[in-house]
Amino acid sequence: MPDPWPSLDRLALRHPVVQAPMAGGATTPALVAAVSEAGGLGMLGAGLMSPEAIGQAINEVRRLTGRPFGVNLFVPEVHRPEPDAAAIEAMADLLAPWYRELASTVPARPLPPPPDFRAQADVVLAAAVEVFSFTFGVPEATMLRAFRDRGCVVIGTATTVAEGLVLAEAGVDAVVAQGSEAGGHRGTFTGTFERGLVGTMALVPQMAAALPLPVIAAGGIMDGRGIAAALTLGAVAAQLGTAFLATMESGIHPMYKQAILDATDEATAITRALTGKAARGIRTPLMAAIEQAGIAIPPYPVQAALTAPLRRAATRWGRTDVMALWAGQGAGQGAGQARALPAATLVAALAREAREAIADVADKPL
């Protein structure tokens, strides 16, 4: 039977496993390359990297593997709200004691802007990376066309069917359906994030039914059973983030890894506190202090810039109470979920478990 999705067929994946792009250092070139070498799709989370650093990381992945891999970027908002100076100063005052405790200082205003999206994309385009994926919005048509003309598979992120349809209309090759269980930032780009909190189990079949495109399921998938479920619901592949955070090649702090292994099903929450954009992570005292202060949280990327040096200092000091511990609801060694394995071993285990799960279900009386 011909593959119904020739765009993804080009990638010749041996396993329907995408390692989620994770900005902030988790998706090291070693992790990306190991996943692609093992027959999944490795993805570099480059949203916070300078164009130069992206170019170097791409070269490093290429040195480690000849297999296809992808790069992911953050689409900036078209209408960025003017930052409210008084709200920024109030937040700076709130954060100051935390900064002092970690021997660091609140960044000077005006705050540094995020990396230039167009310059980042130019590097990815020039390198002709096999997959370009993005979140937080939709790049302009000329950029998407340029990637497709280069033979890149283009993948967008949607948290609702309506967003999936916007991406399909824009001409992407596939859509990541990001359920509310997902770790990290919500990809929601239309309406409020609350409206985009649809669980993976509900979102994937509706997205698969509505879109004339392959759907990749993301959110709360930690093992082969979850992948089998995603495929059963109509996805062509599953994108796993938290599961890969605990692998040996992941670049996160060892104490962050341990926090994921120790997490329970109720350990995470969605918060705007750390970056100004809704994101799911393990609850921390810093998150609670910002939420409970009763002051306005500046929008992304302003709040992200205000807390960035603090989060970096927390990582230097190994202070999990101040780090951003992004993780999905599936984290939790207690449930036999996140596993500290080499990434290639995890990919092989996921594929084996998915096959076993499907065989197990085939034996059940229905």
Ligand X SMILES: Cc1cc2nc3c(=O)[nH]c(=O)nc-3n(C[C@H](O)[C@H](O)[C@H](O)COP(=O)(O)O)c2cc1C
Between the CA of residue 3 and those of 8, 202, 328, 340, 347, what are the distances in Å? 9, 25, 31, 34, 23
Q: To which H or E segment does residue 157 belong?
A: strand 153-158
Sign for the CA dihedral angle at 48, 50, 53, 58 comes to: positive
Query: Exposed (0-12), middle (13-18) or buried (19+): which is 48, by Cβ within 10 Å?
Result: middle
Cβ pair 18, 214 in contact under 8 A: no
Q: In what order do the strands lie in the sheet with 131-135?
A: 17-19, 237-240, 215-218, 174-178, 153-158, 131-135, 69-74, 42-45
Check binding of 183 to ligand X (CB under 6 A): yes
Measured from the CB of residue 337, what is the shortest distance to ligand X in angstroms?
A: 10
Query: What does the H/E/C string look like for 42-62?
Result: EEEECCCCCHHHHHHHHHHHH
CB-nearer residue toward ligand X: 20 or 32: 20
Count of residues of this chain found to bind ligand X when the rule CB under 6 A is applied: 29
Closest contact distance (angstroms) between CB of 331 and ligand X is 7
| Beta carbon nearer to ligand X, 40 or 106 | 40
Q: Which two tokens stand for residue 158?
A: 């949607």
Contact 169, 213 (CB under 8 A): no
**The dihedral formed by the CA atoms of 77, 81, 85 and 87, expressed in degrees to the nearest 10:** -90
Among 13, 17, 23, 338, binds ligand X (CB under 6 A): 23
CB of 47 to ligand X, least distance (A): 4
Q: Which stretch binds ligand X (CB under 6 A): 112-120, 145-153, 229-237, 241-249?
A: 241-249
Shortest spacing between CB 324 and ligand X, in angstroms: 8
Among 13, 22, 33, 351, binds ligand X (CB under 6 A): 22
Residue 182 as a binder of ligand X (CB under 6 A): the answer is yes
Provide the Cα torsion 261, 31, 133, 115; round to 10°: 90
Closest to ligand X by CB, 91 or 279 = 279
Q: Taking contact as CB under 6 A, which single stretch among the options 61-69, 86-94, 240-248, 352-360 is the one that binds ligand X?
A: 240-248
The only residue of 41, 207, 327, 348 in contact with ligand X, by rule CB under 6 A: 327
Q: Contacting ligand X (CB under 6 A), which of 139, 219, 299, 301? A: 219
Within residues 61-90, the interface with ligand X by CB under 6 A covers 72
Minimal distance in Å, beta carbon 328 to ligand X?
Answer: 2
Query: Smaller CB distance to ligand X: residue 88 or 157?
Result: 157
Segment interacting with ligand X (CB under 6 A) among 63-71, 117-125, 285-293, 327-335: 327-335
- Spatial separation of the C-alpha atoms in residues 89 and 176, rounded to whole Å: 37
Report the residue number, 106 or 351, with the smaller CB distance to ligand X. Answer: 351
Cβ proximity to ligand X: between 18 and 34 the closer is 18
Q: 29-37 vs 343-362: helix axis angle to the nearest 10?
A: 40
* Stretch 135-164 residues interacting with ligand X (CB under 6 A): 135, 157
Secondary element (H or E) of residue 18: strand 17-19
Residues that bind ligand X (CB under 6 A): 20-24, 26, 45, 47, 72, 135, 157, 178, 181-184, 218-221, 239-243, 326-328, 330
